[in-house]
């Protein structure tokens, strides 16, 4: 065996070892860092980030477009009992047009109540929005003309669809784009819940290179990267990286290195193969037309 061929085999072996060595070594931290640094980021100390067994209560929900609200406006009345003559509390709907059912928060932050007009609710909690709707309704001249007492109007409000507070699961395609899937926040989701919502990790996803990117409101602030130990989380029941998902979180699953390398090489060599294929096809066609290469001898 020639010296050049030996060195070629050794080179191929070293390349394979480097590739498999980079992907086979188990670690619990993603190989990324702030500002693109290559140094891994440590798992946050216990108690600093909400996780599966140490969740926190989210602050009061703030309504935004395009949330869908369930609104019921009723009027409390009292009717004397025909026998005892004791007033019996009752409720009835508003005159002219009842307010009852689902209502979408519009792009301008208001909710349209038909005859009763629009009420700004964006930026308010559910309690504040209910009070804003009550004040808006009792200020209507129709109720004043009917002699309706302001204290008799009751507004029941709840969020029917949490459309404005979402988190995202992003899968790296290994050079073939990225897939982004969004889900509404309901208050207690974890990383495991998020991955289960998308049916698990794709066949090209890396189990050892996942993290949660928590949003930073202002430019120049340090990145909040929370590494995910998927093997420990899923196979060993460890909860230290099964973080509670917050509104705006990006759960990123990077593609396997070998998949990325393979797809990168495919994108590089595929156009070259097409050019060579067209060239060979053209040469073969010319040879057939001119009678070359078919064993024909005119003598």
Shared domain for 171 and 276, answered yes or no, is yes
Q: What is the CATH number of the domain that holds 239?
A: 3.10.560.10
pLDDT band at 127 (very low <50, low <70, confident <90, very high): very high
Q: Are 120 and 176 found together in one domain? A: no
- Picking from 116, 144, 161, the residue at the C-terminal end of a domain is 161
Domain shared by 174 and 126, yes or no: no
Whether residues 151 and 190 fall in one domain: no
Q: Is residue 10 part of a domain?
A: no
Q: Same domain for 96 and 152?
A: yes
Q: Is position 19 within any domain?
A: no
At 194, give phi and psi (nearest 5°): -65, -45
Residue range of the domain that includes 95: 68-161
Residues 254 and 184 in one domain: yes
257 phi and psi, to 5 degrees?
Answer: -60, -45
Q: Is the dihedral of CA 13, 14, 15, 19 positive or negative?
A: positive
Q: Do residues 22 and 38 lie in contact, with contact meaning Cβ atoms separated by under 8 Å?
A: no
Same domain? 188 vs 279:
yes
The structure tokens listed for 79 are 């009717």
Q: Which residue has the higher pLDDT, 237 or 265?
A: 237
Average pLDDT in the chain: 81
Q: How many helices (DSSP H) and strands (DSSP E) are in the chain?
A: 6, 11
Q: Is 89 part of any domain?
A: yes
* pLDDT at residue 153 greater than cutoff 90: yes
Q: Report the pLDDT value the prediction gives residue 217, as an integer from 0 to 100.
A: 80
Whole-angstrom distance, CA of residue 267 vs CA of residue 173: 13
Q: Which residue has the higher pLDDT, 198 or 275?
A: 198
| pLDDT tens by residue, 23-34 | 333 334 444 444
For residue 186, is it within any domain? yes
- C-alpha dihedral sign at 217, 220, 221, 222: positive
Question: In this structure, are 232 and 169 located in the same domain?
Answer: yes
Same domain, 151 and 129: yes
Query: Looking at the structure, do residues 138 and 275 belong to the same domain, yes or no?
Result: no
**233: three-class secondary structure by DSSP:** helix
Q: pLDDT tens for residues 68-105?
A: 999 999 998 876 666 776 767 788 889 889 999 999 99
Q: In angstroms, what is the C-alpha Rg of the chain?
A: 33
Q: Is residue 212 part of a domain?
A: yes
Q: Tell me which residue has tokens 């928060």.
A: 105
For residues 240 and 229, give the distance between their C-alpha atoms in angstroms, rounded to a whole number: 9
Q: Cβ distance 229 to 239 under 8 Å? A: no
Long-range contacts of 118-124 (CB under 8 A, 24+ apart): 121/63, 121/69, 122/63, 122/64, 122/65, 123/62, 123/63, 123/64, 124/62, 124/63
1 in a domain, yes or no?
A: no
Identify the CATH number of the domain in which residue 93 sits: 3.30.1950
Q: Taking residues 193-204, what's their average pLDDT?
A: 92
The owner of tokens 């093997």 is: 231
**Quick one: 190 and 154 in the same domain?**
no
Helix extents (H) in 180-256: 191-197, 230-235
| Residue 208: alpha-carbon gap to chain centroid | 20
Domains of the chain: total: 2
Question: Are 92 and 198 members of one domain?
Answer: no
pLDDT confidence of residue 41: 58
Can you tell me the mean pLDDT for 130-147? 92
In the numeric block, the tokens 């929005």 are attached to: 129
Q: pTM of the entire structure?
A: 0.70
pLDDT at site 26: 37
**Which two tokens mark 168?**
């995202």
Does residue 206 form part of some domain? yes
Domain boundary among 113, 142, 161: 161
Asked if residue 149 belongs to a domain, the reply is yes
Domain boundary among 161, 191, 212: 161
**What pLDDT is stored for residue 29 in this prediction?**
44
- Per-residue pLDDT of 36-48, as tens digits, reads 444 455 788 888 8
């Amino acid at each position: 065996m020639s010296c050049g061929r030996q060195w070629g085999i050794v080179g191929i072996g070293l390349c394979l070892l480097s590739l498999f060595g980079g992907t086979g070594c188990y670690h619990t931290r993603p190989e990324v860092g702030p500002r693109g640094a290559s140094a891994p980021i440590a798992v946050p100390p216990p108690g600093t980030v909400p996780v599966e067994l140490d969740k926190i209560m989210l602050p009061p929900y703030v309504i935004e477009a395009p949330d869908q609200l369930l609104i019921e406006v009723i009027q409390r009345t009292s009717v004397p009992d025909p026998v005892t003559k004791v007033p019996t509390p009752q409720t009835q709907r508003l005159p002219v047009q009842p307010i009852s059912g689902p209502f979408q928060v519009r792009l301008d932050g208001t909710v349209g109540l038909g005859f009763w007009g629009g009420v700004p609710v964006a930026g308010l909690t559910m309690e504040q929005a209910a009070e804003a709707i009550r004040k808006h309704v009792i200020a209507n001249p129709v109720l004043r003309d009917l002699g309706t007492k302001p204290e008799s109007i009751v507004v029941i409000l709840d969020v029917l669809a949490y459309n404005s507070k979402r988190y995202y699961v992003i899968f790296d395609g290994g050079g073939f784009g990225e897939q982004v899937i969004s889900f509404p926040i309901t208050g207690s989701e974890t990383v495991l819940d998020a991955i289960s919502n998308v049916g698990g990790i794709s066949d090209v996803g890396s189990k050892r290179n996942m993290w949660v990117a928590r949003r930073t409101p202002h430019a120049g602030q340090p990145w909040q990267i929370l590494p995910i130990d998927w093997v420990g989380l899923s196979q060993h029941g460890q909860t230290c990286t099964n973080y509670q998902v917050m509104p705006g979180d990006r759960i990123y699953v990077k593609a396997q290195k070998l998949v990325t390398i393979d797809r990168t090489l495919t994108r590089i060599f595929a156009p070259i193969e097409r050019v060579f294929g067209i060239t060979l096809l053209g040469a073969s066609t010319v040879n057939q037309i001119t009678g070359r290469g078919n064993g024909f001898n005119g003598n």
